[in-house]
Chains A and B, each alone.
Chain A
Amino acid sequence: MTLDARTQQELVAILPRLRRFALGLTRNGAHADDLVQNACEKAITRIDQWEPGTRLDSWMFRIIQTTHIDHIRGQKRRDGYLEVIESQGEPSFDGERAAEASMTLDTVRRAIYNLPEEQRAVVMLVSVEGLSYKEAAETLEIPMGTLTSRLVRARTALARMMNELNGSGGDSNEAAALPLKEAQLP
């Protein structure tokens, strides 16, 4: 099974956005790329299930999301699963940003990473990718009511976390609220 040239081109063109969505779900760059790769391979074998004329990005977001959920379920059963860690010396993506802006964005990212799985998917689709509520609900195959209630819970939690992280004297909270992995090599 192969894609026609135009679909191939479109798929390559949306790869940056697919990686961004996958990063939000997996919270880890290397896992995100593995996820996108798996999703691409699945998409190619199931391309007959995609209706030409409908949005390829939404379809890919759905494949990425279901693959991610399958992976999480499988992960609990599998032994010796490798969890990627970043050593402190790894180059960071926002090295050139002004420190302040980068800290704020980093705070938002960390707050999003701290959301429960299903709220994170909703935030990534609506708030980051800019899908409408209807498109996001269709992509995730959930009712509109479920989508909006997840969105409200997610935004409320984000606002609270942002306040905690930005607020004065929030330093001690930060470590407790965001158990980020920072492992050093032995």
Chain B
Amino acid sequence: MMTLDEGTLIAYVDGELDPQTAREVESGLAKDDRARKDVEHLRALAALTRVAFNDTLHEAVPQHLKDAALGRTVKGVTISQEQPHSGNVITFTSKGGLGSMHRALPLGLAAAAAFAGLVLGLGGGSVYTEASANKALQLAALSMQQDQNAMNQALNQALEVNVSGNALTWVNPDTGRSAAFTPVRTYQDKSGQFCREYRKDVKSTDRTDTTFGLACRDESGMWKTRYLILENGPEQAL
């Protein structure tokens, strides 16, 4: 008579034995209460294991993965969970790399200032003044800078208190500008520092800009943005 060791029983439960061996196991099991009990447990475990990860099967597959399967992604750009983006990655490694960027923007002057403020305000706010050629632009930029400061505060608050997926909204009725800040995911790096991906939708009178960013919290409780991806941003910004 064959020995009903664990390996044999497991292979039996998995249907991996040839018919002859399986019959031998069955006749052995008929005389062995303990082995029968083991098989029962192994079957229960196998059944549970089989479905343990099925929630993942029923979730919607994120669009960026479908894009990757179809060969449509830009390599290395994987920040949005919810939607695809033809995004441009800006890494805030140093201030120097950003100076030339706004020259390429094909926007109206005020919008250019707004855009430069929006992008550069996070990296080092002083750069945008280079774009100020006249008084009107300075005023527009000042108003933008005020909104920018308020939005930075709102973003900081959203990152500090909001659960991922919940938006914090901000509006300035005077300028007609509004924004929504939504933390998307939370990380912790090796040193224990918290970082969060977020989505920012800024709505002006004539346009909506969506950006995705990654911000990390410093010791003083300020969230510093490390990089941004501009959704539908001007191609020149690359």
Footprint of B on A, CB under 8 Å?
1-3, 8, 11-12, 15-17, 19-20, 23-24, 29-30, 32-34, 36-37, 40-41, 44, 79-87, 89-91, 93-94, 104-105, 108-109, 112, 123-124, 126-128, 130, 132-133, 148-149, 151-152, 155-156, 158-159, 162, 183, 185-186
Contact = CB atoms under 8 A, between A and B. Distances in A.
Contacts, number: 146
Nearest to A97: B55
Interface of B: 6-7, 10-11, 14, 16, 41-42, 45-46, 48-59, 61-62, 64-66, 68-71, 73, 75, 78, 81, 160, 163-165, 185-191, 194-195, 217, 221
A83 B187 contact: yes
10 contacts: A30-B185, A36-B68, A37-B68, A40-B68, A82-B188, A87-B164, A108-B52, A109-B52, A152-B7, A155-B10
Nearest to B57: A16
Contacts of A44: 71
B16 A132 contact: yes
Nearest to B48: A108
A149 B8 CA distance: 11
Contacts of A12: 61, 66, 69-70
A17 B57 CA distance: 6
B65 A37 contact: yes
A26 to B, nearest CB: 12
Given A83-B188, A83-B189, A108-B49, 14 more contacts: A3-B71, A16-B56, A16-B59, A19-B61, A23-B56, A37-B65, A82-B187, A93-B55, A94-B55, A108-B45, A112-B49, A148-B11, A152-B10, A185-B194
A20 B69 contact: no
B69 A8 contact: yes
Contacts of A24: 53
Contacts of A34: 78
B59 A93 contact: yes
A1 to B, nearest CB: 8
A36 B61 CA distance: 11
A79 B61 CA distance: 30
Contact of A37 (B7, B64, B188, B217): B64
Nearest to B216: A82
Nearest to B62: A33
Contact of B165 (A91, A104, A158): A91
Nearest to A39: B68
Nearest to A3: B71
B57 A20 contact: yes
Which residue, of A79, A112, A155, has the highest number of chain B Cβ atoms within 10 A?
A155
Contact of A155 (B45, B55, B71, B195): B45
A82 B189 contact: yes
